[in-house]
């Protein structure tokens, strides 16, 4: 029918969380009608039909196989786009301060305020993280800083939305300002400018600060990613917000999540030295190609596109620009498009940041999203996450 929203097979698979083969089985059994679009060789499916099938299959799924429902009003990934409370993130990122986006995630209201933290909290957090060994990553300071911020907050066990929303700006401020300065003090009080001064000693241009702010906006949330689930599970036990953020940081530190940024940075570093084909070949020889492809965005990660657009507008050194272009062209020829991890690593190279900068940017940004999910989770029944196990060990010994 004219005006129907039509989905591709890949979009249906993502929406129903099933394989393409299962979709064809539904079609053959008459459970999901296909729509032929004139001039197109592929099949499409009406959104209304897909939603009816989703309701039917979810209602008849055996209880023992069903994970606890984790619905959210915060973030939606659909039709190749990322949305925060209904707003397209790729469109917001180049023009919206991170602080405004954080408030939008937490409250559903758009306003900007300066983020600040108590001086005593900052001083204690700095001293605590300074005791880490010299070989510690910059990211290693972040959990220490969060733990100190928690210990300094006597109201951390007050889980009301107003209290959690009030503590969030100070937490983000502490996470940034308790890290050591890498260069001159920031030119303004925006969180992006203050984070810049902790990650690089290079002077901050307006265009480069815009790109860093956009990276924070683009990484603030991503639906129910592994680290967000970890934070929500902690919040479901009524762990305080700081403890929930620490749970998220633990999951984020995995090499297949937030810590992948260092691998992408090293790949660009190798490409600068040996050429893009050699760097890509080495990555493929030892595993997968980091920084390219994303299962939720078959047609390309909109976050990567938005951030790369800003990075390419910076005055990149000639070899770096050629290398980034060559990496993208080489990977694209084999069907892999750059994602936000690649764009973030390219930004780190462009503005003189080290290999660990991407992880820290990711952690600071995603903390805003975790706080939003924690507030939402506190409104749900407590201890609601208890998956059924599938025991595969030896049978109990007989008496």
Catalytic residue set: 294, 341
Report the distance separating Cα 226 and Cα 216, nearest Å: 18
Report the distance separating Cα 25 and Cα 225, nearest Å: 29
Residue 75 is inside which H or E element, if any?
Answer: strand 75-78
> Residue 321 corresponds to which tokens in the numbers above?
């620009």
Residue 252 is inside which H or E element, if any?
Answer: helix 241-252
> Residue 156 corresponds to which tokens in the numbers above?
């951390």
- The string over 350-386, giving b where at least 16 C-beta atoms fall within 10 Å of a residue's C-beta and e elsewhere, is bbebbbbbbbbbbbbbbbbbbbbbbbbbbebeeeebe
Report the distance separating Cα 353 and Cα 202, nearest Å: 8
Angstrom distances, CA of residue 286 to CA of 131, 264, 281, 282, 290: 35, 14, 9, 6, 11
3-class DSSP assignment, residue 373: helix
**Helix 161-177 and helix 98-107: axis angle, to 10°?**
150
Question: Sheet containing 35-36: which strands, arranged edge to edge?
Answer: 6-7, 43-46, 35-36
Length of the chain equals: 399
Report the distance separating Cα 367 and Cα 155, nearest Å: 19
Q: What is the DSSP letter of 396?
A: P
Q: 325: closest CA among 346, 297, 307, 339?
A: 346
């Amino acid at each position: 029918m004219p005006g129907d929203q039509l989905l591709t097979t890949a979009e249906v698979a993502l929406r129903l969380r099933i394989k393409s083969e299962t979709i064809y089985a539904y079609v053959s059994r008459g459970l999901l009608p296909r729509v032929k679009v004139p001039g197109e060789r592929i099949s499409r499916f009406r959104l209304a039909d897909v939603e009816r099938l989703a309701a039917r299959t979810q209602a008849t799924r055996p209880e023992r196989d069903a994970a606890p429902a984790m619905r959210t009003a915060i973030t939606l990934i659909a039709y190749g786009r990322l949305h925060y409370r209904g707003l397209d993130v790729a469109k917001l990122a180049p023009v919206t301060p991170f602080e405004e986006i954080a408030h939008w995630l937490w409250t559903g209201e758009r306003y900007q305020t300066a983020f600040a933290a108590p001086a005593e909290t900052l001083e204690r957090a700095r001293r605590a993280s300074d005791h880490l060994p010299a070989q510690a990553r910059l990211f290693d300071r972040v959990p220490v800083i969060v733990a100190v911020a928690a210990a300094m907050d006597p109201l951390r066990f007050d889980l009301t939305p107003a209290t959690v929303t009030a503590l969030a700006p100070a937490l983000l401020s502490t996470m940034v300002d308790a890290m050591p300065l890498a260069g001159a003090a920031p030119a303004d009080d925006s969180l992006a400018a203050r984070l810049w001064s902790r990650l690089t000693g290079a002077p901050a241009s307006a265009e480069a600060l815009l790109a860093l702010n956009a990276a924070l906006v683009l990484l603030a949330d991503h639906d129910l990613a592994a680290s967000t689930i970890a934070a929500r599970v902690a919040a479901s036990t009524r762990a305080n917000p700081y403890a929930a953020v620490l749970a998220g940081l633990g999951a984020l530190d995995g090499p297949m999540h937030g810590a992948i940024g260092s691998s992408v940075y090293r790949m660009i570093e190798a490409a600068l030295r040996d050429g893009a084909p050699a760097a890509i070949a080495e990555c493929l020889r030892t595993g997968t190609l980091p920084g390219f492809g994303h299962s939720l965005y078959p047609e390309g990660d909109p976050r990567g596109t938005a951030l790369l657009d800003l990075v390419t507008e910076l005055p990149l050194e000639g070899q770096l620009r050629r290398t980034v272009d060559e990496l993208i062209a080489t990977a694209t020829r084999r069907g892999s498009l750059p994602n936000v991890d690649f764009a973030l690593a390219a930004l780190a190279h462009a503005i003189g940041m080290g290999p660990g900068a991407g992880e820290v940017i990711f952690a600071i940004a995603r903390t805003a999203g975790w706080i939003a999910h924690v507030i939402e989770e506190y409104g749900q029944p407590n201890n609601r996450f208890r998956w059924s196990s599938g025991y595969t060990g030896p049978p109990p010994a007989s008496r």
